[in-house]
């Protein structure tokens, strides 16, 4: 029975890879590698969160601008529908 792990690597292949890493980098080098990988992953995650914040901030600005333009257009349409101010239509005739 074969257990399939991440990236379609079986358990035996994973053990061979780990042994290669141990031989190639040595027991003292592995913690440094793990630490470096952890820092790199944290930096990537932080950068990704920063990009997401910027996207949300930009989307909020666009949303506010569109809402302001929509309100402005609605106000203009209402003014046009009511007629221009100060015309004979606004004053009662006697």
Mean pLDDT of 11-40: 88
The residues spanned by each domain of the chain are 13-79
| pLDDT for 86 beyond 60 | no
Whether the per-residue pLDDT at 12 is higher than 60: the answer is yes
Please report the pLDDT score of residue 22 as a whole number: 85
| Burial class of residue 14 in the structure, from the number of CB atoms within 10 Å of its CB (0-12 exposed, 13-18 middle, 19+ buried) | middle
Q: Which residues of 31-67 are buried (b: 16+ CB within 10 A; e: fewer)?
A: eeeeeeeeeeeeeeeeeeeeeeeeeeeeeeeeeeeee
Torsion, CA 80, CA 82, CA 85, CA 89, rounded to 10: 120
Among the residue ranges 4-13, 18-27, 33-42, 60-69, the one predicted with the least confidence is 4-13
Tens-place pLDDT, residues 35-68: 999 999 999 999 999 999 999 999 999 999 999 9
Provide the token pair at 37.
């990988």
pTM above the 0.75 mark?
no
């Amino acid at each position: 029975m074969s257990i399939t792990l991440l990236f379609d690597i079986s358990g035996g292949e994973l053990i061979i890879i780990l042994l290669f890493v141990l031989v190639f980098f040595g027991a003292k080098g592995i913690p440094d590698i793990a630490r470096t990988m952890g820092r790199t992953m944290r930096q990537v995650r932080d950068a990704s969160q920063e990009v997401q914040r910027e996207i949300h901030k930009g989307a909020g600005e666009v949303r506010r601008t569109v809402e302001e333009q929509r309100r402005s257009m609605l106000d203009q349409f209402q003014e046009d529908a009511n007629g221009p101010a100060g015309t004979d239509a606004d004053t009662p005739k006697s």
